[in-house]
Amino acid sequence: MRAGACLALDMIALTALVGVVLHRRWRAVLIYAGAYAIFLTWSSSISASNDKSWAADVAHGITGIVEGDRLSSSNVRNFSWRTEAEYTERWEQRTYDLSKLRSLDLFLVYWMGPSIAHTIMSFGFEDGRYLDFSIELRRTQNDQYSALADFFKTHELVYIGADERELMTLLKVRDEQIQLYRLRTPPARARALLVEYIKQASKQTIWPHARGSTTSSRRTAQPQSST
């Protein structure tokens, strides 16, 4: 149905273009503007949900509670990946001491050539552990990513919090290109960003929202620190 709506909108756009070429500009513009308004109204009515049969690697989003310097997190992903289809599923509860946060790194993951990259933020602690955040499109079982479907907000967002070794293993299994950038971020600002990630991730589990190509982008999904 959504693919058909997209094709119909394309046909209306083509008709409008023909109208412009034939010097029927205002009529063509009004027809397309009306059709696009109907499309936006319909698209905005598509509601997001957390209650679907999710693919295993995005089945849970990280949540957490901050009490002083203590971060208690649930659903930290720590799979054992043998291949992308063969793995041991493991979601863990972990505790982090925010006063021991020492580094903030940025990974860019190139999965469709050099022009498109996915952002991963990595928070490093004094004890050698790294908590990585990846904001991803949440696929259902047997679902494949489609740019056309994404245009119609078919994918919810999920905040994945993962052990860095687990996440890097998965990316290598997928044979994706990875670039690491070590950031010179003061610990106080890194902490504020980590707390914001946890806040937004926890909110997402209560009020899910979807990503649509017409109204948002992967960049706008990144939390912004208030400091």
Domain ranges within the chain, ordered by starting residue: 2-44, 56-221
Tens digits of residue pLDDT in 184-223 = 999 999 999 999 999 999 998 876 655 544 444 343 345 6
Distance CA 105, CA 224 (A): 16
Helix (H) or strand (E) holding 137: strand 130-138
For the chain, percent of residues with pLDDT exceeding 90 = 52
Q: Which residue has the higher pLDDT, 15 or 57?
A: 57
Residue 130, phi then psi, degrees to nearest 5 = -130, 130
Compute CA distances 169 → 131, 200, 218, whole Å. Answer: 14, 26, 23
Q: Which residue has the higher pLDDT, 172 or 152?
A: 172
Distance CA 169, CA 167 (A): 5
Average pLDDT, whole number, for the chain?
78
Q: Which residue has the higher pLDDT, 2 or 69?
A: 69
- Asked if the model's pLDDT at residue 46 lies above 80, the reply is no
- Asked if the model's pLDDT at residue 117 lies above 60, the reply is yes
- Collect all residues with Cβ–Cβ distance below 8 Å to 139 and sequence separation of at least 6: 54, 55, 58, 145, 155
pLDDT of residue 49: 59
- Asked if the model's pLDDT at residue 128 lies above 80, the reply is yes
In this prediction the pTM is 0.72
- Asked if the model's pLDDT at residue 7 lies above 60, the reply is no
pLDDT of residue 137: 86
164 pLDDT band (50/70/90 cuts)? very high
Distance CA 87, CA 68 (A): 36
pLDDT of residue 59: 93
